[in-house]
Structure 1
Amino acid sequence: MNMIAVFQKRSRKKISPVERAGMALVSLICILAGTFTILPFLYVIAGSFATEKELVERSFFIIPHTFSMNAYKYIIADGGIFRGLGNSFFIMIVGTFINMLFTTTLAYPLSKSWLRGRNLVLNIIIVTMLFSGGMIPNYLVVKNLHLLDTYMALILPGAVSAFNLIIIKNFFQELPRELEEAARIDGCTDVGIFVKVVLPLSKPALASVGLFYAVSHWNDFFNSLIYLNSTGKFPVQIILRQIVLLAQGASADGSAVDFGTGGVPPEQAVKMAATVAATIPILCVYPFVQKYFEQGVMVGAVKG
């Protein structure tokens, strides 16, 4: 009996009650985990539309009794949030492109076992995962390179992540060498093999690592606070922080703007609206890369 017949026989085997119970239990656990994961975010969205009275009286809710747009009117009143969103998208797109360019071009040669000095370079890279130069040395390097108050100060110091580099290097190592040899026989250079063969076959790894880089740039707050001085260059994270601080001060002295729809926006609602404004844009990126996470990269690549 060949292996195909054995597999078909096993596939026709009936599932026992114990196995059904186990599958049901696993499904129930996954459903509960997903529910408990999404509920806090739903509460934040609902709270951003709630009134101050409802936020005080109700400890948790998904749908507010009275919808109020005061918090969103407050955070977009001066238009700074739109400028911050534009700056954040620019930093994320340019930063991710530079990250992926440097990471892939470094990971590809390091994936070759015959490369001289490969282990030394890998050990140096791994050391950077364990030890950091520190905040002050990093600041001095950025200052001496005349990168202060520029977007490159947020991009170049972290152009290559050691963790992401190792992920892509290991992925490159798993690609069949026959594909590269066939491309070389057809006259492809090393650059051509990298661009036309390796990168197209590495879409799942590139999409995952690219998403890691993009989220890191989008959520970057501390580096922006340290290196940027011009208000017009602030990303959305800094703008939202300023808005929340102004809302706190306004709530304390009662000088907040009344939008005519229920009074001044509550401080908690402003924080929730700021959270939604900072989260929704990056969530829109996930549907475009989700399909690569579980995609089989080598299906049909090598035959015969």
Structure 2
Amino acid sequence: MSSFEGKVAVITGAGAGIGRALAIELARRGARLSLLDRDAAALEGAVARCEAHGARVLAHVVDVTDWDEMRAAASAVNSELGGVDSVFAAAGIIHRGSLLDSDVADIEQVMAVNWRGSMYTVKAHLPFVAGSEGGRIVTFSSAFGLVATSKYTAYNSSKFAVRGFSEALRQELAAAGSDVSVTCVFPGGVRTSIVRNGLFAAGENRKAVIRGFEKQVARTDPEKAAVTILSGAERRRARVFVGTDARLVAVLARLLGGHYQDLLPALERLRGRMRPRRR
């Protein structure tokens, strides 16, 4: 029997990617679901998949950066499903480009969705999760929340912020004697549309970046990612690494500390010299 059976789970970003895979897997395990996404059509598709597994589903088209909308969604699920047991703050976007070439509005949007959206999601639902027996909060950082890399300043910043928020909240709840666990997820390359739907600074080769991500980086299926995440959440772990690449980055960060900041640019320069030149 799954520990999620009969429990209420809230998932943001449920219309696609890891959020959608989590929703379907939780439906298979007998959870009742509150699915949130800003894309109404994508959300409708996810709801249909979950209901096909017999799950009771509430759907809310919301913007996770809107505090009033998030509070309303949290109140609705508490009233209609009788509480909240788990929250998966999976909504997120990515941006690529140097700081000099990036539009400030794009940087602010990434921070708003990834950091503020996660905080709003957790804060709005936490009073109800606190009333659940063995409640769970699951947030989503990234391998880029363990080490930073060039041309992802906005994304790195947002994911480091989610990591800090999650670790502080876990300690805060433990110190207060709460039995609510906080698990921060660090995905590596997962086969989702996040880069294809991402934001790009002027001068970036969008097609080449998407092609490189989908062919060389995105190794993990979202369905496999969902199983890994739920396993870690069930065990109430502080960190869950999704994919071999994320685990390797974690080891690199632990062994090298801040020195990785000297190694990565050197590797990038070397890779640039080894690329075949066009004639």
**Shorter-chain TM-score range:** under 0.3
TM-score when normalising by structure 2: 0.21
Structure with higher RCO (Cα < 8 A, 6+ apart): 1
Of structures 1 and 2, the larger Rg is shown by 1
Q: More helix per residue: 1 or 2?
A: 1
Q: More strand per residue: 1 or 2?
A: 2
